[in-house]
Amino acid sequence: MAAIGIGLSPVLGSKAAAVVLAAPANLALSITGAARDVITATWDAVSGATNYEVEYSDDGVTYTPVDTTALLTYGVTSADYDVSAAVQYVRVRAVGGVDWAVKSIYSHLLNTPVLWTMDEASGNALDSIGSNTLSDNNTVGAVAGKLNGARRFLSASNEYFEIAPNMAVGVGDEDFTFAFWLYRASGMGGGEVPFAKWEGVGAGPYVLLQSSGAIRFQLHGGGGDIIQDSVTTITFDAWNLVILKHNVTTNLTTIKINALTAETKATGASLDGITAQAFNIGRWGGGQYFNGDIDQFLICKREWSAAQDTAYYNSGNGLSYAQLIAGV
C-alpha cells in the first residue's frame, strides 16, 4: 500500500516579522559655512529608510525637533541651536525607527576662523581650520606644550610669528574672543608682548604681559587707546589660559586668567575698524619681544559665554583640537 503523504499548510493569519530600522551609522558633526556658524551633520543611509528626523539639544538630555529630511546631511543653523551652550548635541534617526544616533561637538569652533595648535617641531605655525599660516621669523623653537607641542619664543633672538593682515586675524568693532595658553618663567625684567596687531592705530589688539604677571589688554577707539589691566596675575613657571573678549553691544572688554573671575571694563567708545597692520605672535611691530611658550592660540568672532570659558579651561587640562571636534 502506498504511503500517504501529509502536507503541512501555512498557519492562517500569520504575518511577516516587522522590519526594525536601525540607527544611522557614522553620524559626524563639523562646523561649516562662510561664518563657520553651521553645525553640519552627516550619516550613512539606513536600509529601508526614506526620511530622517534631526533633533538638537544644548545639554544632551532634552531634545528639540529641527527638521525631517530625505538627505544624508543636514545643516543646523544658529536659528536652531543655543550659541552660548558649551556643547552642541545633534541626534538623528530614521523615520519609523526607534534608536537614535547621537553626536556632540564643542561650541568653541563656531565662528572661529583661526586655530594655531603650535604642534609643529619647527618652522611656520599652521592653521588647523583655514589657511592662515604664521611665518617663522628668527627660528621660533618648539617644546612640550600644554596640549601636545608648543612654540618657544626667545626675546634675545627676536623670535616671532607674523601674518599679513586679513579679516580672519583682524578684529574691529565686533564681538570677539582670543584664547591661548601661555607659559612664562619667573624673573621678568620688563613688559613683553605675547601677541599684537598694533602700530598705534586701528582696533588692535595689543596685549602686554607685565612684570607683575598682570595682563594689559589694549584696543583703540573713540580717538584714543582703551586699556584694561588685569588684577589677576598669571602663575609664573606654569601654564595659564588667557581669555580676552569684547562685546560690541555692551562695549565691555573682559580678561579672564585660568578659571578665575572674569574682569570687565567699559570701553567708553566703539572700537576702530580693522586696519592694515600685520598680526604678530611673540612681539608687536615696535619690539617688546616675548620670552616664553605659547600653545593653542584661537581667534573667535564671537564673545564666549562663561560656560564656554569654563569648558575650554577643562579643570586646567585644556581642550585639544581633536577634543573640540570629538565632543564629549
pLDDT value at 5 more than 80? no
120 contact partners, CB below 8 Å, separation of at least 6: 126, 142, 149, 151
What is the C-alpha to C-alpha distance for residues 295 and 317, in angstroms, rounded to an integer? 13
Closest CA to 215 of 169, 155, 157, 258: 258
The pLDDT value recorded for residue 222 is: 84
What is the C-alpha to C-alpha distance for residues 80 and 65, in angstroms, rounded to an integer? 9
Instruction: Report the run of H or E that residue 98 belongs to, with start and end.
Output: none
User: Do residue 291 and residue 190 come from a single domain?
Assistant: yes
The pLDDT value recorded for residue 202 is: 57
Mean pLDDT of the chain: 92
35 contact partners, CB below 8 Å, separation of at least 6: 111, 301
User: Rounded to the nearest 5°, which phi and psi values hold at 308?
Assistant: -70, -35
Domain count, the chain: 2
What is the C-alpha to C-alpha distance for residues 106 and 120, in angstroms, rounded to an integer? 24
User: Do residue 100 and residue 125 come from a single domain?
Assistant: no
The pLDDT value recorded for residue 159 is: 98
What is the C-alpha to C-alpha distance for residues 216 and 213, in angstroms, rounded to an integer? 10
Tell me the per-residue pLDDT of 65-92, one tens digit each, with 9 for 90 and over: 999 999 999 999 999 999 999 999 999 9
Tell me the per-residue pLDDT of 234-247, one tens digit each, with 9 for 90 and over: 999 999 999 999 99
**Cell numbers 545643516 label which residue?**
75
Confidence grade of residue 289 (pLDDT, cut at 50, 70, 90): very high
User: Do residue 227 and residue 291 come from a single domain?
Assistant: yes
- Contact in structure between 90 and 71 (CB atoms under 8 Å): no
Tell me the per-residue pLDDT of 11-29, one tens digit each, with 9 for 90 and over: 445 555 567 899 999 999 9
| pTM tops 0.75, yes or no | yes
The pLDDT value recorded for residue 199 is: 62
Tell me the per-residue pLDDT of 33-53, one tens digit each, with 9 for 90 and over: 999 999 999 999 999 999 999
Confidence grade of residue 201 (pLDDT, cut at 50, 70, 90): low
List Cα–Cα distances, 79 to 82, 212, 305, in angstroms.
8, 44, 18
Domain boundary among 109, 144, 175: 109
The pLDDT value recorded for residue 31 is: 97
Tell me the per-residue pLDDT of 216-228, one tens digit each, with 9 for 90 and over: 999 988 888 899 9
Closest CA to 327 of 120, 65, 59, 117: 59
| Helix, strand or coil, per DSSP, at residue 308 | helix
* Count of residues making up the chain: 328
Q: Virtual CA dihedral for 308, 240, 287, 140, nearest 10 degrees?
A: -100
What is the C-alpha to C-alpha distance for residues 246 and 303, in angstroms, rounded to an integer? 6
User: Do residue 205 and residue 164 come from a single domain?
Assistant: yes
What is the C-alpha to C-alpha distance for residues 92 and 276, in angstroms, rounded to an integer? 45
Q: What angle do CA 169, 172, 177 make, to 5 degrees?
A: 60
The pLDDT value recorded for residue 131 is: 96
Q: Virtual CA dihedral for 244, 247, 253, 256, nearest 10 degrees?
A: -40
Tell me the per-residue pLDDT of 252-266, one tens digit each, with 9 for 90 and over: 999 999 988 999 999
**Mean predicted confidence (pLDDT) in 297-310:** 97
What is the C-alpha to C-alpha distance for residues 134 and 41, in angstroms, rounded to an integer? 31
Domain boundary among 63, 80, 109: 109
The pLDDT value recorded for residue 2 is: 44
267: in domain: yes
The pLDDT value recorded for residue 17 is: 59
pLDDT value at 277 more than 50? yes
User: Do residue 129 and residue 150 come from a single domain?
Assistant: yes
User: Do residue 81 and residue 130 come from a single domain?
Assistant: no
pLDDT above 90: percentage of residues in the chain = 81
Domain boundary among 109, 137, 159: 109
Domain that holds residue 203: 114-315
The pLDDT value recorded for residue 274 is: 77
- Contact in structure between 177 and 302 (CB atoms under 8 Å): yes
What is the CATH number for 69?
2.60.40.10
176 contact partners, CB below 8 Å, separation of at least 6: 245, 246, 299, 300, 301, 302, 303
pLDDT value at 204 more than 60? yes
Confidence grade of residue 275 (pLDDT, cut at 50, 70, 90): confident
| Helix, strand or coil, per DSSP, at residue 141 | strand
Confidence grade of residue 107 (pLDDT, cut at 50, 70, 90): very high
The pLDDT value recorded for residue 7 is: 44
The pLDDT value recorded for residue 16 is: 55
User: Do residue 86 and residue 144 come from a single domain?
Assistant: no
The pLDDT value recorded for residue 9 is: 46
Tell me the per-residue pLDDT of 134-165, one tens digit each, with 9 for 90 and over: 999 999 999 999 999 999 999 999 999 999 98
